[in-house]
Amino acid sequence: MFRIRVTDAMLLRDMITAISTLLDEATFDISTGGIKLRAMDPSRVAMVDFEWPKKIFDEYVCSETMKLCLNISELLKLLKRARREESVELSLEEKTNRLQITIKGKYLRTFNMPTLEPIEEEVPIPKVTFNAKAEITTEGLRQAIEDVSLVSDHVRIEIDDEKITMRATGDLMGATIELKKGDVAFLGVETKEVSIANFSLSYLVEIIKAAAATSEIATMEISTDMPIRLDFKQQQEGKLSFYLAPRIDVE
């Protein structure tokens, strides 16, 4: 048996939106303790690592460990119909193996959708030793990434002892964005060594924009020419992290 309920539909909608930046279909690991998901996008460039303990939900009923694979894009379409202050309940209809989505608010809506064959693959977390780590407001990060994306489609991120620097060079324009000690958006930095890596903005913009709706504080970890880890602090011990592989110079 599996049934969850949130009184604020936005919570679920924002979480599914964040996952949907990388995945069209997602296999959730559901246990008595909560819901987890770890998956890579089809091109294996980025990974989402997500965890919501049962206490985030207003109601959480799970009788046994199971895998639940859903078409995220379809689910999102339904959730987008829900308004703030409306409650959403998801429950698994065991006989038919369909997911029932109930939105309660001004009126009652019940949708159902098929569950898919779960993907059994266990995805390990990338083994990276991060040499630089910075904490910033998610909003500040979102603004900075939107700034650089005006001039190019990739960005060079550097973290040293006192700041994060983002550089982009486009056809006509260039941009340098600094977030440093003393800035409102800047919360702290820890560096073993100055680290620099390049990343595709098409991924970063999508991820950060969606994650910003779920989180106020972000932690960015990098090492030179290694994947970046972005962790978006969730309420009540939830977890939402993304890994993104770097772009590296050819030759």
Partner 1 sequence: MRIAGVDEAGRGSAIGPLVIAGVLFKKENLSILQTLGVRDSKLLSSSRREQLFYEIKNIALKSHVIILSPLEIDKVVNAGRKLHKLNRLEAQIMAKVIEVLRPEVAYVDAADVLADRFKEHIAENIPFKVKIISEHKADIKYPIVSAASIIAKVERDKAVSELQEKYGNLGSGYPADQKTIDFLKKWINRYETYPDFVRKSWKTAKRLKNEADTKQTKLT
- Residues engaged in binding partner 1 (CB under 8 A): 40, 43-47, 126, 152-154, 170-171, 198, 200, 227, 243, 245-251
Pick between residue 112 and residue 202 the one whose CB is nearest to partner 1.
202
> Residue 57 or residue 242: which is nearer to partner 1 going by CB?
242
Q: Find the shortest distance in angstroms from Cβ 130 to partner 1.
A: 15
Tokens linked to 249: 């110079």
Query: Shortest approach of partner 1 to residue 97 CB, angstroms?
Result: 31
Pick the closer one to partner 1 by CB: 94 or 120. 120
C-alpha–C-alpha distance, residues 123 and 158, integer Å: 28
Min dist CB 231 to partner 1, Å, is 16
Dist CA 122 CA 67 (whole Å): 12
Euclidean distance between CA atoms 135 and 148, whole angstroms: 19
- Beta pairing, strands 154-159 & 239-244: unpaired
Q: Between 1 and 119, whose beta carbon lies closer to partner 1?
A: 119
Two tokens, residue 63:
């009788």
Minimum CB distance to partner 1, residue 84 (Å)? 35
- Smaller CB separation from partner 1, 40 or 116: 40
Q: How far is the CB of 209 from partner 1 (least distance, A)?
A: 20
- Euclidean distance between CA atoms 90 and 2, whole angstroms: 8
The number of residues making up the chain comes to: 251
Which residue has 């029932």 as its token pair? 100
